[in-house]
Chain A
Amino acid sequence: MALLKLDNTVMRFGGLTAVNKFSTEISDNELCALIGPNGSGKTTIFNIITGIYTPTSGSIRFNGTEITGMRPDLITKLGIARTFQNIRLFKGLNVVENVEVGHHLRLKSDPMSAILSLPGYKEEEANIRKEALELLGSLELAHLAYEVATSLPYGQQRKLEIARALATRPRLLLLDEPAAGMNPKEAEELMQFILHVLETFKISVFLIEHQMRVVMGICPRIIVIDHGETIAEGTPEEIQNNNRVIEAYLGVDDYAGN
């Protein structure tokens, strides 16, 4: 059974159709990329999956459960996590606290225990801190744990966002342009990290990217969309030779390997 299944999802905003009968399936432990020109609807699809938008029609199933139009936090609790196109770290929290927000959904102690500093809560708090620091360590961010999150260099901030999403222990991770603004070396490191995460945690990753080199080299399966519809799907070789894809990207430098 597919981990994630989108079935003919449509998203209309007034007169504008942003997503037009988009269907796909993501399996367990799979790495899949979603590419397409600007404005083709990629982030909208992510927003539909994660519950920020309710699709005009169509359905989304995760692990067999119908999640169409479910509240975002409930969807995350089921096991889907995401990052955003623009970096959106919590300004008022430091690095490790940002990550701990991702752990929050597993907190069992109620507020009263927290207020009274009961042992049950204290233990959970310590565990969460430990896990958060470990997660930061695996991304080589541990030494910055107590810095103000927004004071980090750009590349580190992006990694922090991913660490934060991973803290929710997702089965499916949606990454919206994770390598944006990174130089080729950083992007390469990031992709290696994503592969590492895939193998270690046995999760699936569905990512949106613009940098073709990043995507072509690593992702075994690529979906290309334009104007909210799938125009091609397959391996990097198949995509590169697809006429429709070449047409959609005509004039955009990115395709030539940036």
Chain B
Amino acid sequence: MKKLSRNTILSIIALAAIVGFMVYAENTFNPYLLRILNLCAVYTIFAVTFNLVYGFTGQFSLGHAGFAAIGAYIGALLTMSPAQKQANFFLEPIVPFLANIELPFILAIIVGGLGAALVGSLVAWPALRLKGDYLAIATLGFSEIIRVLLVNMQPVTNGALGLKGIPDYTNLYWSWGTAAVCIFVCKRLVDSNYGHALKAIRDDEIVAEALGVSLSYHKLLAFFTSAFFIGSAGALFANLISTIDPKVFLFFLAYQIVGITVMGGMGSLTGSVISAFLYTIFLEFLRPIESPFNIGSIQVPGIPGMRMVIFSALLLMVILFYRRGLMGSSEFSWDWVVAKASALRGLFTGNGKPGTDQTGKED
């Protein structure tokens, strides 16, 4: 049997701990907390995939909201029972072939992802011709076209009324399972030679092409992969909040995702994960300030929309003063953790100087 390295053992232990936590949480936490944890997973996927396309491949795409919408609607339409669909589509009956379809959740997630990926691949083509902010606006336009189509295709999507009563299949296993796959795929891609090609395209596309790197292939790779996971996240989202309508997927969502990813650090998947967590939790934590609350005996009127103001102000601060974001372009590594832990231990026991790497042994 192959001897396992220290890092692999640590990873396995951590994974086991996380799974254990998930089982515990699913069985004991109240629905409110669970919902937050599930949302963290969804936003993590959004941030990680945006980082793949922008932080690692240099394509400023604001099309996320549209892809998520596609995934969400496909997921919803595939998991809702025929009865629920009939109840929803009272204005105009649903298109026949969708009326009776009801698929297991996993299929809904995958098909949602594939649908979004197909559309996302279409975006790769303009990405070949457009740079920087032009691509941003074009993808924004794309995303809005999708939304307009969703609003107008009554027999398919129920138009502006949206879909209500989507079964809430999303739980920690589904959401974090998908997120784990997403993180794994993106990390492997980025660390591999394909990752070199993506980063080369980001750093200097003309030179990359001159070295034989096919721009169309690699941009397509990035867009397809990210759109697939955004779509699945959309499906997870739909089955979490049970109600969706086109307004949920306004370009605002794209701005939020940009914010989360920039704050975590463009080029750091770890940063995206941490940032997504902080964002979701912070949003919930600050929810009270949007309704009236009491300081002592004084009632302070709530300020709706304040959370977003704080978030966008923070984002601007980060962009102006702390451009690297939380993690810059560094990733989490066990070596770093162990080194810090040893240094701490050294401080307490008086052995070794802080910062000395006492963990030199590696196998």
- Please give the residue numbers on chain A whose beta carbons come within 8 Å of chain B beta carbons, in ascending order: 50, 52, 71-73, 76-77, 81-82, 84, 88, 90-93, 97, 100-105, 107, 111, 114-117, 121, 124-125, 128, 164-165, 167-168
Contact = CB atoms under 8 A, between A and B. Distances in A.
Given A101-B197, A114-B189, A114-B192, A88 B211 contact: no
A115 B188 contact: yes
Closest 10 CB pairs of A and B: A105-B212, A76-B212, A114-B192, A90-B203, A115-B188, A72-B209, A101-B200, A88-B207, A92-B199, A73-B209
B316 interface: no
A81 B189 contact: no
Nearest to A52: B206
Interface stretch (B34-42, B75-83, B95-103, B213-221): B213-221
B329 interface: yes
A45 to B, nearest CB: 15
B267 interface: yes
Contacts of A114: 188-189, 192-194
B207 A125 contact: no
Contacts of A82: 210
A128 to B, nearest CB: 6
B188 to A, nearest CB: 4
Contacts of B194: 107, 111, 114
A140 to B, nearest CB: 22
Contact of B213 (A50, A52, A104, A121): A104
Given A107-B193, A115-B192, A125-B193, A101 B213 contact: yes
Contacts of B314: none
B208 interface: yes
Interface in B199-244: 199-200, 202-204, 206-215, 221
Contacts of A104: 193, 196-197, 211-213
B318 to A, nearest CB: 20
Interface string B173-205: 000000000001100110011101101101110
Contacts of B211: 73, 76, 81, 101-102, 104-105, 164-165, 167-168
8 contacts: A73-B210, A76-B210, A76-B212, A92-B199, A92-B329, A105-B213, A114-B189, A115-B189
B202 A117 contact: no
A114 to B, nearest CB: 4
A115 B191 CA distance: 9
Task: Give the interface residue-count category, chain B.
Answer: 20 to 34
B192 A73 contact: no
Given A111-B189, A114-B188, A117-B188, A77 B212 contact: yes
B196 A101 contact: yes
A150 to B, nearest CB: 10
B208 A101 contact: yes
Contacts of B188: 114-117
Contacts of A88: 204, 206-207
A102 B204 CA distance: 13
B212 A84 contact: no
Given A76-B212, A111-B221, A90 B207 contact: yes
A90 B189 contact: no
A154 B102 CA distance: 63
A73 B200 contact: no
A52 B210 contact: yes
Given A52-B206, A125-B192, A90 B200 contact: yes
A72 B206 CA distance: 9
Nearest to B185: A115
A128 B212 contact: no
A97 B212 CA distance: 15
Contacts of A124: 193
Given A73-B212, A111-B194, A125-B193, 19 more contacts: A71-B209, A73-B211, A81-B210, A84-B207, A92-B203, A101-B196, A101-B208, A104-B211, A104-B212, A105-B212, A105-B213, A107-B193, A114-B193, A115-B184, A115-B192, A117-B188, A124-B193, A128-B193, A168-B211
Contacts of A125: 192-193
Given A107-B193, A114-B189, A128-B193, A168 B212 contact: yes
A118 to B, nearest CB: 11
Interface string B319-353: 00000000001000000000000000000000000
A165 B210 CA distance: 9
A168 B207 CA distance: 13
